[in-house]
A and B are shown apart, each in its own frame.
Chain A
Amino acid sequence: MSTVKGEMIKGNEAIAEAAIRAGARFYAGYPITPSSEIMEYMSWRLKEVGGAFVQAESEIAGINMIIGSAACGVRSITASSGPGISLKQEGMTTLSDEELPAVVVNVVRYGNGIGTLLSAQCDYHRETRGGGNGDYRCIVLCPASVQEAADLTVEAFDLAEKYRMVSVLMTEGALGQMMEPCVLPEMQAPKRFEWGFDGKYTNKKIGIFDRDSMKEAVALNAKYNKVKETEQRWEAQHIEDADYVFVAYGMPGRATIGAVEQLRAEGHKVGYIRPITAWPFPEKAFEQVNPDVKGYISIEANATGQLVDDIALTVMRQGKKKGSDCSGGSCPAPVYCNPHVYGVPSTKAIMEDYAKVLSGEMKEVY
């Protein structure tokens, strides 16, 4: 018999409870489907643990309150979806500039503009590149199960504080709304960080003209390079001897693993890489791939294909490292992508994508 542990809980509620247990004591935000359960849960739960909760008048107000609480050294979290996260970008670039840690949850829904309510992965580019003005990155974590959503919430706080950055938990509508068994993390005692404001003007005052952007740029690069070097996370299997490697994250990533297992059982030499950090992108995972791999297949839920770009950049970079160029017939492997627009692609649909790559019906993107 299997050893299934934990209790049935919704993805969104698991994130909220995990944040409480990680010591988060401030939430401010504005509701939006499919993220609202996080806020609803926080509205009563924070009170129980002596934290503060604000239903702000807008997403912009909410993220600015997060700047305030983070500046005071309190573990702080806000959540929204697609267009709500657009409104938070100004606050997120400010948090990044001030090197204040915070966790922002995007329960991604499909669409441009106001969007739809459908589950999707259309915000990949924005989250991984830093969606506000300036030149910053956020650590982007992408869970594929309710358990992983809870675990990564705790990790999001730890990473945000370790590097004094914003962590984005990039989940999806489907994962936020679904229930499955989950063992919630241990309760931690909340702590206030010593660098936070104490109300006594003990922190050094630095005006805008006191800053040296050249020096800051060097420090910023050093920090981001360290994150890239040490914080890549992924799950991979069957890649050492694979002819084709699937790359997918989140719910489509999880569905892809099921399809790969089925294809393997049928004798196909396929493997998968499931990025857990979208930034830093898990480039190291690609180093383990069969050097004679025939292609990479990106499975993602958006209209235009976004993850496919990072796969192609990684494949090209590794091709260069190995000294291969196209002259001797050893071009970097082609990268394919059939964006499934929204939802979670079925096992059948993923297997059909593979068949189309084999038959030549699907042309490579890169």
Chain B
Amino acid sequence: MAAYKEIIFAGSGGQGVLTVGLLMAEMALFKGLHATWIPQYGSAMRGGTANCTVKFSESYIYNPSQEEADLLLAMNEPSFQKFLPMVKEGGTIVINSDLVDPAKCTRTDVKLIAVPCSSMAKELGHMLGANIIMAGVVVKATGEFTEEEALNGMNQVFRKKGKEKYETLNSSALRAGFGFI
């Protein structure tokens, strides 16, 4: 893998982007990699914008802050517009196509993956699982994880938090995302 991977998770407060970012970091850690998670903090609140940057690497991460992203997850339109310029040339952008219009992507040097995650979550009967579906898409898009590694990493996090009762639903959401691309 490259020196490190940098991923921005962005959306509106309450969409679970900070959790998805943490899941990604935990999956990397579960795999024995170095990982950092750093949020935008302070004035962010429910209904406002929220974002975090995750980096993972086989070697120590010297700079955990946002530099140039390999991948962006944009859960809503304002996040998409704000972080579109931060993605590296040849990078990947994953959008929630239920809320973001793929036609509005002004860049041609990036790969765009449109995922109707809100609709998919509804179909799965896991309305709050849209972010987990996206975790599946993102982890697959990094190209560094198998589905099993991702699942085990995620489930371990929820077990530690005592939230294993949602394991079946979360697992199916993660699989749906992983299998989407």
- Would you give the 0/1 interface string for B89-129, flagging 1 where the beta carbon is closer than 8 Å to chain A? 00000000000000000000000000000000000000000
Whether the Cβ atoms of A8 and B29 lie closer than 8 Å is yes
Whether the Cβ atoms of B64 and A344 lie closer than 8 Å is yes
Whether the Cβ atoms of A179 and B25 lie closer than 8 Å is yes
Q: Known contacts being A1-B32, A34-B41, is A178 close to B63, with CB within 8 Å?
A: no
- Would you give the 0/1 interface string for A233-270, flagging 1 where the beta carbon is closer than 8 Å to chain B? 00000000000000000010011011101000000000
- Would you give the 0/1 interface string for B48-81, flagging 1 where the beta carbon is closer than 8 Å to chain A? 0000000000110111110110000000000000
- Would you give the 0/1 interface string for A1-12, flagging 1 where the beta carbon is closer than 8 Å to chain B? 111100010000
- Asked if A348 CB lies within 8 Å of chain B CBs, one says yes
Q: Known contacts being A117-B43, A258-B62, is A348 close to B36, with CB within 8 Å?
A: no
How big is the B interface, by class?
20 to 34
List of A residues within 8 angstroms of B132 by Cβ: none
- Asked if B35 CB lies within 8 Å of chain A CBs, one says yes
The 8 Å CB contact of B65, one of A8, A180, A343, is A343
Whether the Cβ atoms of A348 and B25 lie closer than 8 Å is no
The CA of A42 and the CA of B25, in the complex, are separated in Å by 26
Of all chain B residues, the one with the shortest Cβ separation from A258 is B62
List of B residues within 8 angstroms of A261 by Cβ: 62
Of all chain B residues, the one with the shortest Cβ separation from A109 is B42
Whether the Cβ atoms of A179 and B58 lie closer than 8 Å is no
Whether the Cβ atoms of A180 and B37 lie closer than 8 Å is yes
The CA of A249 and the CA of B36, in the complex, are separated in Å by 19
18-32 of chain B: CB within 8 A of chain A: 22, 25-26, 29, 32
Whether the Cβ atoms of A4 and B22 lie closer than 8 Å is no
Whether the Cβ atoms of A347 and B62 lie closer than 8 Å is yes
- Asked if B181 CB lies within 8 Å of chain A CBs, one says no
How many whole Å from B153's CB to the nearest CB in chain A?
Answer: 11
List of B residues within 8 angstroms of A259 by Cβ: 62
The 8 Å CB contact of B22, one of A3, A8, A118, is A8
Q: Known contacts being A8-B29, A257-B62, A344-B64, is A33 close to B41, with CB within 8 Å?
A: yes
Whether the Cβ atoms of B41 and A255 lie closer than 8 Å is no
- Asked if B140 CB lies within 8 Å of chain A CBs, one says no
How many whole Å from A94's CB to the nearest CB in chain B?
Answer: 32
List of B residues within 8 angstroms of A178 by Cβ: 36-39, 64
The CA of A1 and the CA of B57, in the complex, are separated in Å by 11
How many A-B residue pairs have C-beta atoms within 8 angstroms? Tell me.
77
Of all chain A residues, the one with the shortest Cβ separation from B64 is A178
How many whole Å from A264's CB to the nearest CB in chain B?
Answer: 13
- Asked if B34 CB lies within 8 Å of chain A CBs, one says yes
The CA of A2 and the CA of B56, in the complex, are separated in Å by 12
- Asked if A101 CB lies within 8 Å of chain B CBs, one says no
List of A residues within 8 angstroms of B25 by Cβ: 8, 179
Whether the Cβ atoms of A4 and B62 lie closer than 8 Å is no
* Max count, chain A CB within 10 A of own CB: residue among B32, B34, B35, B63: B63
Whether the Cβ atoms of A344 and B26 lie closer than 8 Å is no
Whether the Cβ atoms of A344 and B65 lie closer than 8 Å is yes
Whether the Cβ atoms of B42 and A179 lie closer than 8 Å is no
List of A residues within 8 angstroms of B36 by Cβ: 178-180
List of B residues within 8 angstroms of A117 by Cβ: 41-43
- Asked if A122 CB lies within 8 Å of chain B CBs, one says no
Of all chain B residues, the one with the shortest Cβ separation from A3 is B32
The CA of A21 and the CA of B97, in the complex, are separated in Å by 47
List of B residues within 8 angstroms of A181 by Cβ: 29, 34-35
List of A residues within 8 angstroms of B37 by Cβ: 8, 178-180
How many whole Å from A113's CB to the nearest CB in chain B?
Answer: 17
Of the A-B pairs whose beta carbons lie under 8 Å apart in the complex, a sample of 20, sorted by A's number, is A1-B58, A2-B32, A4-B34, A8-B25, A33-B41, A33-B42, A34-B42, A118-B42, A174-B65, A177-B39, A178-B36, A179-B25, A179-B37, A180-B37, A181-B34, A251-B65, A257-B62, A258-B63, A346-B65, A347-B62
Task: Please list the 6 inter-chain residue pairs (A to B) with the smallest Cβ-Cβ separation, ordered nearest first.
Answer: A258-B62, A117-B42, A344-B65, A178-B38, A255-B63, A179-B37
Inter-chain pairs besides A2-B34, A118-B42, A178-B64, 19 sampled, C-beta below 8 Å: A1-B32, A2-B33, A2-B58, A4-B29, A8-B26, A8-B37, A33-B41, A117-B42, A174-B38, A178-B37, A179-B25, A179-B37, A180-B35, A180-B36, A251-B64, A254-B63, A259-B62, A344-B64, A347-B67
